[in-house]
Amino acid sequence: MIEQMSWNDAMQFPIMAGVTLCGLYFAMEYFGKEAVNYFLLAYIAIGGVTGIRSIIEAIAGNAFEAYDKDKIIDINIKMIGLEIEAT
């Protein structure tokens, strides 16, 4: 099945990109360049690890499924409805 973007999704992309860039600008002003660089480095590292894990799962199948029984990250903040679970 092929996923398609709706017109509304395509129109929201420049808005979200602008908000992200403005947020990074203000984060650099408030926290400093070094702190933002470390945040971006961590963000890219997590994305890279996730991508490599997906590639390994596609190649090896369910060979490593036994290692995913325990949760590494389990965050639940009921006040704002945030629930993060990572294995």
Q: What is the pLDDT of residues 36-77, one digit of tens each?
A: 999 999 999 999 988 998 898 888 887 777 777 766 666 777
Beta bridge partner(s), residue 77 = 82
Beta bridge partner(s), residue 85 = 74
Q: Kindly provide the residue ranges of all beta strands, DSSP E only, lying in 1-87, ordered along the sequence.
A: 73-77, 82-86
% of the chain surpassing 70 pLDDT:
86
User: How far apart, in whole angstroms, are the C-alpha atoms of residue 20 and residue 58?
Assistant: 32
User: How far apart, in whole angstroms, are the C-alpha atoms of residue 85 and residue 21?
Assistant: 28
Rounded to two decimals, the pTM is: 0.58
